């Protein structure tokens, strides 16, 4: 989770796509499109293993667009495939 946050902050689309599970991976993320986000921080609220190959992470990521601050609160699902963890999808929380 932390490495994916850093990849978003640095605009590392190839890393984000390679750590996204093939079953749900988009063709591209278009991170270079406007508006530009400025990431401010990540807070991991909880994490849980469902079994040895499935996990969830609840996080809040803060960012700014222009001078306005926002937060992304998500429950993300991850799956281990061939000894590597991949992001599957997430549910946005309010």
pLDDT tens digits, residue range 83-93? Answer: 999 999 999 99
Cβ distance 42 to 79 under 8 Å?
A: no
Note the pLDDT tens digit of each residue in 15-72: 999 999 999 999 999 998 878 899 999 999 999 999 999 999 999 999 999 999 999 9
In the DSSP assignment, the letter for residue 82 is: T
Structural domain spans, the chain: 2-93
Angstrom CA distances, 14 to 4, 8, 46, 93, stand at: 11, 10, 27, 26
Split at pLDDT 50, 70, 90, the class of 94 is: confident
Class of domain 2-93: alpha beta
Whether omega before 35 lies within 30 degrees of 0, making that bond cis, reads: yes
Res 52: pLDDT: 97
3-state secondary structure of 69: strand
């Amino acid at each position: 989770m932390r490495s994916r946050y850093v990849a978003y902050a640095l605009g590392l689309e190839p890393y984000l796509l390679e750590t996204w599970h093939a079953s749900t991976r988009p063709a591209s993320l278009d991170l270079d499109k406007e508006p530009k986000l400025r990431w401010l921080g990540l807070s991991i609220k909880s994490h849980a293993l469902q079994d040895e190959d499935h996990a969830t992470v609840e996080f809040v990521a803060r960012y700014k667009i222009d001078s306005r601050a926002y937060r992304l609160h998500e429950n993300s699902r991850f799956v281990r495939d061939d000894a590597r963890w991949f992001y599957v999808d997430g549910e946005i929380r309010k």
